[in-house]
Amino acid sequence: MSRILVIGGGAIGLLTARELATAGAQVTLIERGETGRESSWAGGGILSPLYPWRYAESLTALASWSQARYTDLCQELQTASGVDPECLSSGLLILDPEERTAALSWAKAHQLRMEPIEPADLAKLEPALGHTADGALWLPEIGQVRNPRFARALRRAVEGRIEVREHEEASELLVTAGRIQGVRTRQGILEADQVVVCAGAWTATLLEQLGEAPAVEPVRGQMMVFLTQPGQIHRIVLYRDRYIIPRRDGHILIGSTLEYTGFDKSTTAEAKEQLYRAAGALFPLLRHSPLEHHWAGLRPGSPQGIPYIGVHPQVEGLYFNAGHFRNGVVTGPASARLVADLMLNRPPILDPTPYALHAQR
């Protein structure tokens, strides 16, 4: 039985470890902090790319595969972990109608339900909406998960099936004669037959020591959450790259910024002001709702938003699954399955070519 080491315990590392363990591999996951506390904690959990028609087919393929399986995945995780990831099919209402024709034909080609909404009907759909739009697009099938709970469910679901080592950081990838041997950590050397790097925004930092690394860089995203009475806002609403996500218990998220500020995870007064204004313009009730929290996370940014999934071209046994940028939750299940297929020599669920190391240059 091959010994596999997964580096990074975000959603991508946990999903990958789960896939590998399900196939019978002996898996160890190392996480330098605690699992599910970085980007996978900070995100919104929308189970669709924003404006999905703007993305490359390779990204859509990962998203569609995952979307078709999310309800079952959440059910399995809840049964295995006792934690409800709050997978809700709240639907997505897009208030920028400018690309309506292109969006509708894209949806038809991808068999995704998308309905044009006339301005007069908007208030019937979302009575609390304060924004008057020239029309909207309604995607009733789009869902969401609640990130911290999703990550906790994943973590608990793999406990006992894999070894999880927290507070252990891979500082060096050990390679001999073009083959991975394991990694060095402050606690010692961990040997493995195969290693898969799922280190999110820190992936390039780790792989750069080998000369060739995926072009993954941190992209900060700030979000805020308000507390309201449940049942006042029903749908995920998107307008000019800002979105509102209603959780089941009345928490309402507003996101998010897109900032290239290195590994700095601090929040800013400027973003707070912008998000607050955007939230109040979309739903005036949020101006009178308590603001509970404001935070930032580091997305693993990639040049075209397409994750790197595959084998290192120079190092046998070394794989990566990283760079999911704005869509790691929605694409994660397919991405984990694909990398596991490649590592285990199974027929892949998708053609891996677009996710290779040099495909995005």
Interface positions with ligand FAD (CB under 6 A) = 7-13, 30-33, 37-40, 42-46, 169-170, 198-202, 206, 221, 223, 255-256, 297, 299-300, 322, 324-330
Q: How far is the CB of 107 from ligand FAD (least distance, A)?
A: 19
Q: Would you give the DSSP letter of residue 51?
A: S
CA atoms of 83 and 81, how far apart (whole Å): 5
Q: Report residue 222 as tokens.
A: 């700030």
Nearer to ligand FAD, 42 or 278 (CB): 42
Q: Which stretches does DSSP call E strand in 247-352?
A: 251-255, 291-301, 308-311, 318-322
Q: How far is the CB of 12 from ligand FAD (least distance, A)?
A: 3
Q: How far is the CB of 24 from ligand FAD (least distance, A)?
A: 23
Neighbours of 205 (CB within 10 A): 14
Q: How far is the CB of 35 from ligand FAD (least distance, A)?
A: 7
Q: How far is the CB of 101 from ligand FAD (least distance, A)?
A: 26
Neighbours of 149 (CB within 10 A): 21
Q: How far is the CB of 191 from ligand FAD (least distance, A)?
A: 16
In terms of Cα–Cα distance, which of 359, 335, 360 is closest to 349?
335
Q: Report residue 259 as tokens.
A: 């900032």
Nearer to ligand FAD, 103 or 155 (CB): 155
Neighbours of 109 (CB within 10 A): 10
Nearer to ligand FAD, 45 or 148 (CB): 45
CA atoms of 356 and 228, how far apart (whole Å): 44
Nearer to ligand FAD, 52 or 354 (CB): 52
Angle at 228 between CA 143 and CA 127, to 5 degrees: 70
Nearer to ligand FAD, 256 or 360 (CB): 256
Nearer to ligand FAD, 116 or 304 (CB): 304
Q: Answer whether 280's CB lies under 8 Å from 128's CB.
A: no
Nearer to ligand FAD, 324 or 342 (CB): 324
Q: How far is the CB of 297 from ligand FAD (least distance, A)?
A: 3
CA atoms of 44 and 279, how far apart (whole Å): 15
